[in-house]
Structure 1
Amino acid sequence: MPGEVRKIVELMSKERGLPKEVIVSALVEGMRTAAQKKLGPQAEVEAMYNEEKGEIEVFRLYEVVEEVHNPEKEISLSEARQKNPSARVGDVIGEPVDVRDLGRIAAQLTKQILTQRIRGAERELIYQEYKDKIGEIVSGFVHRFHKRDVILSLGRAEALLPEKEQIPTERYHRGERLKALLIEVRRTGDPQLVVSRTHPEFLKKLFEREVPEIREGIVQIVAVAREPGRRAKMAVISKDPEVDPVGACVGLRGSRVQVVVQELKGEKIDIIPWDPDPARLVYNALAPAECTQVIVDEETKTLEVIVPDDQLSLAIGREGQNVRLASKLLGWRIDVYSETQYARRQDPEFLKMLEVEGLSEEVAGRLYDAGINSVKALAEADPQKVAEVGRLRLAEAQELVTRAREKLAGEG
């Protein structure tokens, strides 16, 4: 039917969101390939789209010659002039091929090539659409699961949320709406997009959406440290002395920070004021614990933080989480000591005790406070007393006493 191809082109272009030229090119290539297969490898075949008729025309090409040696490719001058009186030697004459004669092979080949071309064109469109959006938040629905990975539907495109980029405490459900940070765009592969919910930048972008002062550049997020799904620390600074950066991020009655917490399924977020002085910054980062003293070692980028005895567990946090996040935030190593621990460490004898293999600082502290305050004292101590004071098994206490004696002998 005249115009049938035009209708197909327009319909597919609209459905797929692709330029008509891509569809036409694929259809033309499919018909040309089908004709080539039908007519044999020796035949010269050309196909083109007739815009006026809205149809694809296929021609078998022959070179006009005086004497025919290859009938697959050549036509005599006399025969050519029967088709075109003005034909001359060296001309190329196209003989129309009825596409209806190509049969089912033509349809299958055309469909195959069309599918490949469309997939390639769609991939390129997706690449061009998203390549400049790396580092931005995208939103989609949980579409399907592949092993432990989640595939999100973003409309035309799909995005891969790998297991390592998932918040460990989250469980995803098909159809659930999800936001994530776009971290990679690939030209090939399926899916082409890779997203993350654990990246520190994801937290920054979520706050950027909720806090106008961040979008306007008044408040700046300087550093972020996360243990995804559990806790995060974020340091902020304001370019305007009239604007409190922490208050701006928290919002009235916590309204702004709560939106981010809800998106992260309950991840606790500590927002602190940034300070270029690491000693002052660590005071803020270890809050709510109070710090008595901070000793800075610029060369090794280490901070020794001394806190009141009753604040030690608070400063360190559950399983060391508080001090670990503070260390990530600053990019410095942080060693936290209670005032009692720090006082012990000023005694060279206590530091020598820590050199005894297998003796932890916690046990050494108990022994020190009980009067076993040097390697010599440990070597001469009754293992039974060491076990009681250090809260050890007798065999462990005997091993420590033996190692203390070995250390003394080695030094002697």
Structure 2
Amino acid sequence: MNTQEIVRIVDNIARDKNLDRESIFLDLEAAMVSGAKKHYGDPDCDVVVNIDRNNGQITAYKDNAPIDIKELGRIPAQTVKQVMIQKIKADERDSIYTEYAERRGELITGTITRKERGSAVISLEGRAEAYLPKTEQIPGETHHTGERLRAVIADVREDTSQVKIKLSRTHRDFIRRLFEAEIPEIAEGIVEIRALSREAGYRTKIAVGSNDDRVDPVGACVGVRGSRIKNIVDELSGEKIDIVPWSDSSQDLITNAIKPAECTEIALCFELGRATAVVPESQLSLAIGKHGQNVRLAARLTGWDIDILTPDEYNQEVEELTEIYKEFSTGDEHLIDKFLALGLLTVHDIEEVGPQPLIDELGLDQDLAQRLVDLAIETLKAEKSGSESAE
């Protein structure tokens, strides 16, 4: 092998395996040092090897005396080969880990090379292998060898022998990255995904806002005749996606998030982080959703704990609260309205918030606020006692 061929081989390895050229030269020098020490049978001898990075010329010294690496023999050459293989594998492993660790959360495309106990092993651009566990696959999907699929990089870990790259198609970020890939306005930052909640394989709710008053964020995501959202739904094997406009108003956001059901009223209790949404009786099942999915996703999207009531149920709550506090109403005819304005619909709510919000938000004096809370506690105790007696 001539010296120029060394340079060419190093350049090829650096390009094909995405390794630093200088690190390969250092590895090669270290491997030749190991081979020389093997040849002389003295691991403690002082051997120095230098390779010219431009022309591949090798200069070597043992105890400051020049030596010819080419004349060391077959066994040292085999040692050099083994050491080089180990070092290049280690460098490649470090390179893969560094590259993909920095790409956590990115959307990536790969080809399934084999299936292992439910998991899919995926080749990433021919450079690394990743795995898609069964738990990270969308429920109901089936994959086959040779199929190309998209997923997000969920985790990257470095083991002693390999880098383990874990992919996911169930993570919320998978939806986020698909929207970025399919919708130019999101990729350009004109439209933003402000909130997202998902139950993979079933339904996703996504709230979008626009940084340009001329751009309708929902329309941009849906596309002409639904063309854009159709591509995403097809990628998700038919998973339903509700796209709603973002609002800085919690009431408006919750109203949007509950859709396709229509809310007639929203009561917010900031102290408890709870919202009560009133919907017509005919839309109750729609608001709650199958197995509670619609209201559950709406709660995650908005960050509020959402209760769904019909108008009759809401009125009944108000009537019961009015009856319990009727002795106080003579002193303040707007007391119940004040409770409702705070989102307090039941004695449970009043007992839970305690007297301080009644003092701070309603302007009640401390004694009255405490009496109102004490009555709530007594009412709950009586209800519990009556329930136990009935049993």
Shift in Å at residue 228 of structure 1?
0.8
User: Retained in 2: the 8 A contact 1:149–1:161?
Assistant: yes
Partner of 2:132: 161
Determine whether 1:238 maps to 2:219.
no
Determine whether 1:44 maps to 2:46.
yes
Partner of 1:318: 290
Partner of 1:308: 280
Partner of 2:112: 142
Structure 2 counterparts to residues 79-118 of structure 1, below 5 A: 93-96=64-67, 99-104=70-75, 106-118=76-88
Shift in Å at residue 47 of structure 1?
2.6
Shift in Å at residue 170 of structure 1?
2.1
Partner Cα separation in structure 1 for residue 212 and residue 53 of structure 2: 63
Against the structure 1 CA distance between its residues 203 and 53, is the aligned structure 2 distance closer, same or farther, given a 3 Å change threshold? closer
Against the structure 1 CA distance between its residues 43 and 183, is the aligned structure 2 distance closer, same or farther, given a 3 Å change threshold? same
Partner of 2:22: 21
Structure 2 counterparts to residues 100-249 of structure 1, below 5 A: 100-104=71-75, 106-155=76-125, 156-186=127-157, 190-249=162-221
Moved more, 227-236 or 204-213: 204-213
Shift in Å at residue 296 of structure 1?
0.9
Partner Cα separation in structure 1 for residue 72 and residue 199 of structure 2: 66
Partner of 2:62: 60
Partner Cα separation in structure 2 for residue 255 and residue 52 of structure 1: 55
Partner Cα separation in structure 2 for residue 148 and residue 41 of structure 1: 49
User: Retained in 2: the 8 A contact 1:22–1:118?
Assistant: no
Partner Cα separation in structure 2 for residue 53 and residue 22 of structure 1: 17
Shift in Å at residue 219 of structure 1?
1.9
Against the structure 1 CA distance between its residues 160 and 59, is the aligned structure 2 distance closer, same or farther, given a 3 Å change threshold? same
User: Retained in 1: the 8 A contact 2:27–2:84?
Assistant: yes
SS of aligned partner of 2:237: coil
Shift in Å at residue 283 of structure 1?
1.7
Shift in Å at residue 298 of structure 1?
0.8
Normalised to the residue count of structure 2, the TM-score between the two structures is 0.73
Against the structure 1 CA distance between its residues 217 and 346, is the aligned structure 2 distance closer, same or farther, given a 3 Å change threshold? same
Determine whether 1:407 maps to 2:377.
no
Partner Cα separation in structure 2 for residue 51 and residue 248 of structure 1: 54
Amino acid at match of 1:12: I
Q: 1:276 aligns with which of 248, 270, 274?
A: 248
SS of aligned partner of 1:246: helix
Partner of 2:36: 35
User: Retained in 2: the 8 A contact 1:211–1:256?
Assistant: yes
Moved more, 318-327 or 149-158: 149-158
Deviations along 1:237-273, one digit per CA (max 9) or x if unpaired, are: 2233332211111111000100111111111100111
Which stretches in structure 2 are left out of the alignment for 5+ residues?
Answer: 325-383
Shift in Å at residue 212 of structure 1?
2.3
Partner of 1:340: 312
Shift in Å at residue 186 of structure 1?
4.8
Deviations along 1:15-42, one digit per CA (max 9) or x if unpaired, are: 4343443333223222221221332234
Which structure has the bigger radius of gyration? 1
* Aligned Cα root-mean-square deviation (Å): 3.2
Against the structure 1 CA distance between its residues 293 and 406, is the aligned structure 2 distance closer, same or farther, given a 3 Å change threshold? closer
Normalised to the residue count of structure 1, the TM-score between the two structures is 0.69
Identity of aligned residues (%): 41
Q: How many residues align?
A: 327
Which stretches in structure 1 are left out of the alignment for 5+ residues?
Answer: 62-92, 353-402
Shift in Å at residue 209 of structure 1?
2.1
User: Retained in 2: the 8 A contact 1:289–1:315?
Assistant: yes
Deviations along 1:281-330, one digit per CA (max 9) or x if unpaired, are: 22211112122322111111111112222211111111111111101100
Against the structure 1 CA distance between its residues 41 and 134, is the aligned structure 2 distance closer, same or farther, given a 3 Å change threshold? closer
User: Retained in 1: the 8 A contact 2:93–2:163?
Assistant: no
Moved more, 314-323 or 137-146: 137-146
